[in-house]
Structure 1
Amino acid sequence: MGVRGLQGFVGSSCPHICTVVSFKELAEQHRSKCPGSTPTVVVDAMCCLRYWYTPDSWVCGGQWKEYFSVLRNFVRVFTAAGIQLVFFFDGMVERHKRDVWVKRRLRNSREVARIFHHIKSHREQPGRNMFFIPSGLAIFTRFALKALGQETLCSLQEADYEVAAYGLQHHCLGILGEDTDYLVYDTCPYFSISELCLDSLSTTMLCREKLCESLGLRLADLPLLACLLGTDVVPEGLFETFRYQCLSAYTSARENCGRNGSVILAVADHISKVLRLHQGEKKLEEMLPLGPNKALFYKGMTSYLLPGQTSPWISQKAKVIAPLDSQGASESSDPEPKPDVPVGSNPESEQDVLCTDLESKQESPMCADPESRQEDPTSMEPELKQQVALVSDPEILEVARARHVQAESYLVYNIMANGEIECSNTLEDALDQALPSQAFAYRPVRQRVYSLLLAGGHDGASSCPPVQEWFVYSGNPLRHPDLVRPLQVNIPGGPPSLKLLWLSQEPGAQAQRVDVLLACFDLSSSREELQAVESPFQALCCLLIYLFVQVDTLGLEDLHAFIAQALCLQGKSAGQLADLQLDHIDPRAVQLGSLLVRGLTMLVLVNSACGFPWRTSDFMPWNVFDGKLFHEKYLQSERGLSAEALVEQNRSWLTRFHQLKSVVCKACLREDRRVVSRRLRQPHHSGRWGRQGSGSHRTSSGHSRSGPGQHWRDQGPGNRQHESDPWRRHASSSGWST
């Protein structure tokens, strides 16, 4: 996600490459030059998430109605200026970038621990310096923008490549983002989202031509410079000695440049005065200490070449190494927003670094010596064939791919194409043993989805291959993925085919889609009660029933809070929610808010896999959940306030409150789960069930001894493989469930 040190260098040493521009003026110039053509800005949405999320409250689970209002205003301002926006989201984490992903997840886990420590110590939300984006922000932003009528696309590879290619191909006004890779790509102009003033529609344009002029380079040299400095493809440590040698030989000096800036100038000087001198006479690998890293280096170089572009530094033989593509990639279930590093910031504080230093290698065992992780480009083809073989029907796979690209589905395509998914950090308290990680709470749902998507070419779920899950939870060092076996979807006669679920227009197909969706949550017996619930509460009740059956430490107070906030949300504006003040912040409520929001993303997954039986808008958080409002209702419920008080004396809401509560409690009772007050239970236990203990459940082979359908307490850390025994719910030995 950028070139090491380049952002800071631009701000401190080359400020002249940054020019303030007006989008309105650029749009007018475009219309003058190209009458009839709509000026278009392509937006790297992952770079913009922190810019867009402006609500003051972020720790409670997300201020979704406020956030939707911000997005609507953002779109409105550009539309009023006659500018079309095209939004790209990361859809893949490519295999050669897994080390980077792991390092960031481990770092984020430490940040989450600090956040909970602050909450417990001060009973308040930390300052913005500890800001952590709400769970699911990237996922729900996709659907918010689509709801606002915007063209929204999900990448099949690293999004910055597709953004740069789209900008070049469609002659866009420019790219709006915050990633120094856009200074390296030879594409349309690059604009900074962090410098955008929405009122005036002005921002900073970073000119790659002026950057080249400052460095004495050509545009075609920038990919070489980037790879020698370090990128997400080429680890920084590969050329550390080489850069030191360049610096030692560099005779010029520039004031206020700093060591990182001097290194960049020295490497650029070496390219222009030494490498270019012998260009054409010697191969690049003869002039650089590539050693066994040649394939990785050329992969990094070609990753910057857009369709139709060539590089004078890459020979014809080296070009057989394809640019970044979707092979060996996995869909990012909750992609991390790209680091928002303002121009002029300290380069040492940049987050676009790889696992190359000693500390990083100690954090992540995956960050091994680059020489031990080289891939032979010719060996990738059989692997790709194996991945495609997970789903034998090319028509269905193509439908899944198209829905993925159009940002209509979530996770489905990559499960089918690669059998691998991941989920980033969630605000979960590692020290609270009474609540499960969302990774475990929703695993049975995912397992049934795996069976639904993969069993078509196999003899039932038992013969399906395991899916590799890279999920962040306490105690998981992320050295390897959890290998999770699919679970059979229990429907009389078996689940219908994906062709029927996805493509059929026959009468009764919609009813079958609903049947399969409920079966994925193991709630087929609750169909009648759920059908009686009006939108948008039907999906919410489905999720609450599942959660309260699965997690027996949830009590009536929690249920009251979830229902009351959903009802009261219908009558509150974004401004009213922004003005809401909380007495204090409760760490348990923080985790419950995140747990519910992750459940909403699971609804998106299941609804996508089942052919969209429910309207997506019914489980978008701005319609059913507000973090701060939930927190208020949680605190009120814990104090014992009545249902009338929780729904703010609204008679209509009170009637619905009792209806929804009855639906959830009756469905739970049918599953031998009685929802009772937490005040009537035993004292809060202190880790009797180690949700994510020390990893002692691993066998020497790295595989778990436990089965797949366990209660969350039995799902130990880093489960390596889950057998396909039917899932059984277990009543807790504590007596909390009856």
Structure 2
Amino acid sequence: MGVRGLQGFVGSACPHICTVADFRELAGRHRSRHPGSTPTLVVDAMCCLRYWYTPESWVCGGQWREYFSALREFVRAFATAGIKLVFFFDGTVEQHKRDVWVKRRLKNNREIARVFHHVKSRREQPGRSMFFIPSGLAIFTRFALKSLGQETLCSLQEADYEVASYGLRHHCLGILGEDTDYLIYNTCPYFSISEFCLETLKTVMLCRDKLCESLDLHLTDLPLLSCLLGNDIVPEGVFESFRYRCLCAYTSVKGNADRKGSVILAVADHIAKVLRLHRGQKRLEDMLPLGPHRALFYKGMASYLLPGQNSPWFFQKPQGVAALDKQVAFVCPDPGSQQEVPASTEPESQQGVLVSTDSAPRQDTATCADLASKQGAPLSSDLESKQEVPTCTDPDSQREMPVSADAGSKQETPMSIDPAAEQDIAACAGPCPKPEVLACADLEPMQGIPACADPASVQNLPAGADPELEPEAPVKQADFMGMDPEVKQQALVADPDILEVCRRPPVPSVCLSGYRRARCWVCPGAGKQVARTRHVRAETYLVYNIMSGGEIECSNTLEDALDQALPSQAFVFRPVRQRVYSLLLGPGADGARTCPAVKEWFVYAGNPLKQPDLVRPLPISIPGGMPSLRSLWLDQGPQVEAQRLDALLACFDLSSAREELQAVEGPFQALCCLLMYLFVQVDTLCLEDLHAFIAQALCLPGKSTVQLEDLEPDYIDSRAVQLGSLLVRGLTTLVLVNGACGSPWLLSDLMPWNVFDGKLFHQKYLQAEKGYSVEALLEQNRSRLSRFQALKSAVCKACAQENRRISSRQPWRSHHTGRWGRQESSSHRTSSGHSRSSTGQSWREQGGPTEALLGRDRAYLVCTEALPPLGVIWT
């Protein structure tokens, strides 16, 4: 994450870059200079998860009540100092980051294997050096912060870009996180979360001005340095030989080959003394060994340019069309122009960037010194006062957006586009023709660009939607050019009032509001945009990703790859996800029998993650028929509330258990639904497991945070570790389904700090395994006994309807034959067929060659009665 080697370089070779900062002093200075303005700190939440998770126990599934208390103290400390916090969470994985994401997931698999080896050999939790954040921590953190009254946003593209852009646009105190990319962005000051002290509200500020001074660079040189060193876009190996030549030349002059950070110093020296010397006389690609990585390099450079910013390092417009990651970067083919080039080389970044040949470096955005005077004042100077930037009115949001202040710039719009394209901008607000799949050569560069900005769309927002959020978060679009033919030709969403379908050809777009748009299946500028608004406001999980891109992912879970009894959560909850796909995507746009397949990047044992699993939606049977998303999400009334619950139960294939669920107390209905599904699906779960799950949920409300913290299980059982993670992943699945169905249940009933505690569950699990009575599990509390019996009875009845008998622990643990892995030769798979509940078979009883072929997806056999459409691989 971030620039290769820069963090270590700053800490060892340039410690003066790090300066102690006191947030209380910074906030006071801001209020004195800007009366009536609230000092705001934008927080990269994904960088802070490890800092926030302070409970000692982490392997049992998460100490959620303790974690919630830690978050509350964090928020309270800033509120006391009068500082507003705005939290950003990753809402998607962009295509150019997929390889990095996969490498980290595979590395995490190895770390998890070490954790389980330690647990099984020593029957204790590993030390903090092997710490692995509990499953679902990022998902539930966003809901925890919202419940604490904090402004919580979910990104629609690369989160660090949105964080940097938000901090610059809103004149924030700074960015709190742990990513060296924030040293490269020309935005507000960057503060380290790893050095943060909650008691004193002090941390370390990493000053990009001092970094530039140490390296003899300008702020506009930092993106070039980042790409030459290697980052998440430009792989480290691309410029390895170039860095070696720079190092040889540098050390021959300095005579100190052992100097720390010499590679960074050498590259910076080459930029300052060689590249900058010839800038304006030679093209950048003539001075650098770009070769086949030319488009990738420009894409990496452009990714650091925030709205309204330029780069002096683009000299001449690259020729023609550069294809990258199966997406198209359109550039002007005029070789004679030396003024500006739309560096649209970032297919996922959704921003058109103006670049110029202005040889004088421009520093017209926030720095860590006095941002108003640009004098490079020390830390005591005002960090908040920023240079005024020309603005233009955004017709979509009626808000002012920054534009380039470069006098030489030909454009007065926030996003610089080709001048010829300005005449052809058209809003996608009305009916459009059916989508067409066009080859790259069929598209005129930057012609007929749909400006996805409907001025009326703000008025059309549903109740509760915040129009201020619409222009602040760029839309994450799908990799349209890389989709399967079947997917390209079908609209994902049947109801345009929920997520307006864009039927224009898949061409690059430039939004009038100044935000980057890429090619996708939807036009975000029209319609009510309910899914998008709820996604941005962190009110749902995965719903918008499914509807807008047809691609989702799930990170690592604490699962033992060597366990032979329990299936991976990726397969246990896949049937639910498949029915959610059917609910969200509906029938094909042409009335076809099937919906588009969804790409799933889920981590499980044996999955090399070379390709996503292609998962086809399953038919969903809802009493009274399939309701529209408009009805589920926007309508009100008792009948609609009943429809929402029917849809949710249908996703879990538990429609027949509605009466049993309604007999359960409200706060425990969601948990009961999850337990019903788990025990129907996984026949290796036993009666003792059910007792432990129910007992810990009933005892949890009576425990204080201190009591939970003091709990100490006798030992750590690896199976209980997996069961804890399985339940928590089930709760995240409940959040997905609840959001897709219009929220029939309160989100608070789905939050783990209300229904689950890792150590408490572990204690109850060990007690149940030792044969403790129900009364002992309930801690001799008779008032809990009736609720226990009601929950147990509901789960057992639901299982009995599916011919699933929950028995006490049997010797199956010792003779189970083996855990199924992913054995098929192709990494593409499409799941379809029948659920276990419709066949009465357990996931272990569907043996035979077909089962071995499909791996551990025990609930779905390939449907051989119909051939798949073109573009989808069936196994």
TM class, shorter-length: 0.7 to 0.9
In 1, the alpha carbon distance for the partners of 2:705 and 2:109 equals 31
Deviation per CA, 1:373-429: give whole Å up to 9, x if none: xx9997977558949932244431221111111100000111111111111111111
Q: After TM superposition, give the deviation of residue 534 of structure 1 in Å.
A: 1.5
1:389-400 aligned at under 5 Å gives the runs 389-397=491-499, 398-400=529-531
Corresponding position of 1:163: 163
Corresponding position of 2:770: 639
Q: Please, which of 426, 432, 455 is the counterpart of residue 586 of structure 2? A: 455
Corresponding position of 2:612: 481
In 1, the alpha carbon distance for the partners of 2:209 and 2:784 equals 61
Aligned identity (percent) is 72
2:835 maps to amino acid = G
1:435 is aligned to 2:575: no
1:191 maps to amino acid = F
Structure 1 residues 588 and 413: alpha-carbon distance in aligned structure 2, compared to 1, 3 A threshold: same
Corresponding position of 1:344: none
1:696 maps to amino acid = Q
Corresponding position of 2:835: 709
1:223 is aligned to 2:223: yes
Q: After TM superposition, give the deviation of residue 198 of structure 1 in Å.
A: 0.4
274-283 or 208-217: which moved more? 274-283
Structure 1 residues 640 and 24: alpha-carbon distance in aligned structure 2, compared to 1, 3 A threshold: same
2:198 maps to amino acid = L
Structure 1 residues 691 and 236: alpha-carbon distance in aligned structure 2, compared to 1, 3 A threshold: same
In 2, the alpha carbon distance for the partners of 1:252 and 1:555 equals 70
1:273-312 aligned at under 5 Å gives the runs 273-312=273-312
1:258-269 aligned at under 5 Å gives the runs 261-269=261-269
Corresponding position of 1:40: 40
Q: Is the Cα–Cα contact under 8 Å of residues 17 and 210 in structure 2 kept in the other structure?
A: yes
Q: Secondary structure of 1:203's partner?
A: strand
Q: Is the Cα–Cα contact under 8 Å of residues 390 and 417 in structure 1 kept in the other structure?
A: yes
In 2, the alpha carbon distance for the partners of 1:439 and 1:202 equals 41
Corresponding position of 2:144: 144
Q: Is the Cα–Cα contact under 8 Å of residues 692 and 768 in structure 2 kept in the other structure?
A: yes
1:691 is aligned to 2:820: yes
Corresponding position of 2:83: 83
Deviation per CA, 1:514-554: give whole Å up to 9, x if none: 00000000001111111121232100000000000000000
1:302-341 aligned at under 5 Å gives the runs 302-315=302-315, 317=317, 319-321=342-344, 323=346, 325=348
In 2, the alpha carbon distance for the partners of 1:253 and 1:11 equals 24
2:786 maps to amino acid = T
Q: After TM superposition, give the deviation of residue 461 of structure 1 in Å.
A: 8.6
In 2, the alpha carbon distance for the partners of 1:32 and 1:257 equals 49
Corresponding position of 1:50: 50
Q: Secondary structure of 2:702's partner?
A: coil
Q: Secondary structure of 1:240's partner?
A: helix
Corresponding position of 2:74: 74
Corresponding position of 1:554: 685
Q: Is the Cα–Cα contact under 8 Å of residues 91 and 157 in structure 2 kept in the other structure?
A: yes
Q: Secondary structure of 2:497's partner?
A: helix
1:18-33 aligned at under 5 Å gives the runs 18-33=18-33
- Over aligned residue pairs, what C-alpha RMSD do you find? 2.6
Q: Is the Cα–Cα contact under 8 Å of residues 43 and 175 in structure 1 kept in the other structure?
A: yes
Q: After TM superposition, give the deviation of residue 233 of structure 1 in Å.
A: 0.4
In 1, the alpha carbon distance for the partners of 2:150 and 2:594 equals 41
In 2, the alpha carbon distance for the partners of 1:270 and 1:720 equals 58
Q: Is the Cα–Cα contact under 8 Å of residues 708 and 722 in structure 1 kept in the other structure?
A: yes
Q: Is the Cα–Cα contact under 8 Å of residues 553 and 601 in structure 2 kept in the other structure?
A: yes
Structure 1 residues 408 and 95: alpha-carbon distance in aligned structure 2, compared to 1, 3 A threshold: same
In 2, the alpha carbon distance for the partners of 1:450 and 1:129 equals 39
In 2, the alpha carbon distance for the partners of 1:327 and 1:467 equals 22
1:306-705 aligned at under 5 Å gives the runs 306-315=306-315, 317=317, 319-321=342-344, 323=346, 325=348, 382=481, 386=488, 389-397=491-499, 398-458=529-589, 462-678=593-809, 681-692=810-821, 695-698=822-825, 703=829
Q: Is the Cα–Cα contact under 8 Å of residues 17 and 211 in structure 2 kept in the other structure?
A: yes
Q: Is the Cα–Cα contact under 8 Å of residues 709 and 726 in structure 1 kept in the other structure?
A: no
Q: After TM superposition, give the deviation of residue 49 of structure 1 in Å.
A: 0.0
1:82-121 aligned at under 5 Å gives the runs 82-121=82-121
Corresponding position of 1:131: 131
492-501 or 417-426: which moved more? 492-501
Q: Secondary structure of 2:43's partner?
A: strand
Structure 1 residues 497 and 521: alpha-carbon distance in aligned structure 2, compared to 1, 3 A threshold: same
138-147 or 498-507: which moved more? 498-507
In 1, the alpha carbon distance for the partners of 2:270 and 2:689 equals 64
Q: After TM superposition, give the deviation of residue 75 of structure 1 in Å.
A: 0.2
Structure 1 residues 258 and 130: alpha-carbon distance in aligned structure 2, compared to 1, 3 A threshold: farther
Corresponding position of 2:378: none
Q: After TM superposition, give the deviation of residue 176 of structure 1 in Å.
A: 0.2
In 2, the alpha carbon distance for the partners of 1:568 and 1:282 equals 72
In 1, the alpha carbon distance for the partners of 2:33 and 2:856 equals 58
1:690 maps to amino acid = R
Structure 1 residues 226 and 623: alpha-carbon distance in aligned structure 2, compared to 1, 3 A threshold: same
In 1, the alpha carbon distance for the partners of 2:757 and 2:253 equals 54
In 2, the alpha carbon distance for the partners of 1:684 and 1:123 equals 18
In 2, the alpha carbon distance for the partners of 1:459 and 1:381 equals 19
1:53-64 aligned at under 5 Å gives the runs 53-64=53-64
In 1, the alpha carbon distance for the partners of 2:143 and 2:153 equals 11
Q: Is the Cα–Cα contact under 8 Å of residues 691 and 712 in structure 1 kept in the other structure?
A: no
Deviation per CA, 1:73-129: give whole Å up to 9, x if none: 000000000000000000111111111111111111111111000001000000000
Q: Secondary structure of 1:250's partner?
A: helix
In 1, the alpha carbon distance for the partners of 2:124 and 2:711 equals 14
Q: Is the Cα–Cα contact under 8 Å of residues 428 and 437 in structure 1 kept in the other structure?
A: yes
1:53 maps to amino acid = Y
Q: Is the Cα–Cα contact under 8 Å of residues 547 and 585 in structure 2 kept in the other structure?
A: yes
497-506 or 78-87: which moved more? 497-506
Corresponding position of 2:507: none
Q: After TM superposition, give the deviation of residue 655 of structure 1 in Å.
A: 1.9
Q: Secondary structure of 1:508's partner?
A: helix
In 1, the alpha carbon distance for the partners of 2:58 and 2:29 equals 40
Q: After TM superposition, give the deviation of residue 282 of structure 1 in Å.
A: 1.1
Q: After TM superposition, give the deviation of residue 574 of structure 1 in Å.
A: 1.2
Q: After TM superposition, give the deviation of residue 320 of structure 1 in Å.
A: 3.5
Corresponding position of 2:238: 238
Whose Rg is larger?
2
Q: Secondary structure of 2:797's partner?
A: helix
In 2, the alpha carbon distance for the partners of 1:34 and 1:457 equals 54
Corresponding position of 2:176: 176
Q: After TM superposition, give the deviation of residue 721 of structure 1 in Å.
A: 13
In 2, the alpha carbon distance for the partners of 1:232 and 1:718 equals 33
Q: After TM superposition, give the deviation of residue 452 of structure 1 in Å.
A: 0.4
Q: Secondary structure of 2:62's partner?
A: coil
Q: Secondary structure of 2:732's partner?
A: helix
Q: Is the Cα–Cα contact under 8 Å of residues 164 and 188 in structure 1 kept in the other structure?
A: yes
451-460 or 51-60: which moved more? 451-460
Q: After TM superposition, give the deviation of residue 446 of structure 1 in Å.
A: 0.3
Structure 1 residues 685 and 466: alpha-carbon distance in aligned structure 2, compared to 1, 3 A threshold: farther
In 2, the alpha carbon distance for the partners of 1:170 and 1:123 equals 50
In 2, the alpha carbon distance for the partners of 1:395 and 1:240 equals 51
Q: After TM superposition, give the deviation of residue 307 of structure 1 in Å.
A: 0.6
Q: Secondary structure of 1:88's partner?
A: strand
Corresponding position of 2:413: none
